[in-house]
Amino acid sequence: MRSHSLVVSLVFLLLPLVASAADVTVKSVPVEDWKAVFATVEPARQLVARARIGGTIEQLNVKEGDQIAAGAEVAVVADQKLVLQMQASDQRIRSQQAQRDQAKADFDRIAELKRRGVSSQTQLDQASTSLDVATLTLAAMQAERSVIEQQMKEGTVFAPGAGRVLTVPVSEGRVVLAGETIATLAEDRYILRLRLPERHAQSIHAGDLVRIGARGLGANGEEALRTGRVRLVYPEIQGGLVVADVDVEGLGNYFAGERTRVYVTTGQRSAIVVPVSAVYARAGANFVRLSDGTEAVVQPGEMRDGGVEILSGLRDGDVVVTR
């Protein structure tokens, strides 16, 4: 507040000393009541890359801070049991193929004998049934092999979307279970998440304008302000706080979780606003001259459209002289 008052005082000292005088009657006017709160930079949506099968992490391709595209290979999880199952399946398939080939040869031979009148129809039917069973059994084994092959392919973990890697809670060589988190990603789009005391719950709505201060917690009241809009007000109050998300351009270079100052309007209040030219500084204090020639010590506040708010020293009906 002291630095703010000093800046206001300097503004008043730099005003032209010679100007036409005019009387202004002080009157309270409604102004927006802006409150300063801290908001957290958070991704609009967090994405989680999970292992689809259990096994050992054979290859890890990302680290914290990496920017990756959707579908990028995050890690490879290998399960040696699947390799053994695949080998066993191949052996069974080869054995069944031999049985199928034998059944086909028997069927062809009996069919030829039947054509010559040597074999009976019953023998031909039995050979046909044996061939069908062998063929279907081979198809079932090949389907089982496809399942194992698909499970091995699912060992590759892909990024569910484009974004920045926030956390990688695993390392190469670690054993993971199916569904375990391999990496957490922040979506490319960031928002500001602010929390207000619940007494202000009725004063904030989706679409409301907010002002965002300069980056960093040490920014003062004279920082350059940007604007954003409330995109969502959550219907649940958490710990006595109402939570809202604000859309702001240019948050991509912020750290996830970084805090910044945000100004939100919590309604209107009455305030006394006088022209800037009515206030002048002397000996470290701010004054206004009343129409009767006396001086009043005032405490200036925020700059408002066309003037400066007076926190103390004036009341409705006072007539001040502008310079």
pLDDT digits 0-9 by tens, 297-313? 998 888 877 788 888 88
Q: Is the pLDDT of residue 37 over 80?
A: yes
pLDDT in the model for residue 313: 87
**pLDDT bucket at 217, cuts 50 / 70 / 90:** low
Alpha carbon 276 to chain centroid distance?
A: 43
Between helices 80-116 and 121-153, what is the axis angle to 10°? 160
CA distances in angstroms from 161 to 76, 252, 255, 282, listed in the order given: 17, 16, 19, 61
Residue 79, classed as helix, strand or coil, is: coil
**pLDDT bucket at 224, cuts 50 / 70 / 90:** low
**Model pTM score:** 0.62
pLDDT in the model for residue 168: 96
Per the CATH hierarchy, to which homologous superfamily does domain 2-44+189-322 belong? Answer: Efflux pump adaptor protein, beta barrel domain (2.40.30.170)
The Cα–Cα gap between 145 and 138 comes to 11
Q: Is the pLDDT of residue 223 over 50?
A: yes
Across the chain, mean pLDDT equals 85
In contact, 77 and 60? CB cutoff 8 Å: no
Burial of 222-250, coded b for 16+ CB within 10 Å and e otherwise, reads eeeeeebebbebeeeeeeebbbbbbbbee
pLDDT mean over 132-146? 95
pLDDT in the model for residue 3: 46
Residue 49, classed as helix, strand or coil, is: strand
The residues pairing with 118 across neighbouring beta strands, listed in sequence order, are none
pLDDT tens digits for 178-200? 999 999 998 878 889 998 888 88
Higher confidence at residue 15 or residue 70? 70
pLDDT in the model for residue 25: 86
| Topology of domain 45-79+155-188, CATH | OB fold (Dihydrolipoamide Acetyltransferase, E2P) (2.40.50)
Q: Is 155 exposed, middle or buried (0-12, 13-18, 19+ CB in 10 A)?
A: buried
pLDDT tens digits for 46-98? 899 999 999 999 999 999 989 999 999 999 999 999 999 999 999 999 999 99
In contact, 322 and 280? CB cutoff 8 Å: no
CA angle 65, 165, 64 (to 5 degrees): 45
pLDDT in the model for residue 133: 95
**pLDDT bucket at 17, cuts 50 / 70 / 90:** very low
pLDDT mean over 290-297? 88
Measured torsion, CA atoms of residues 254, 256, 259, 260, in degrees rounded to the nearest 10: 30
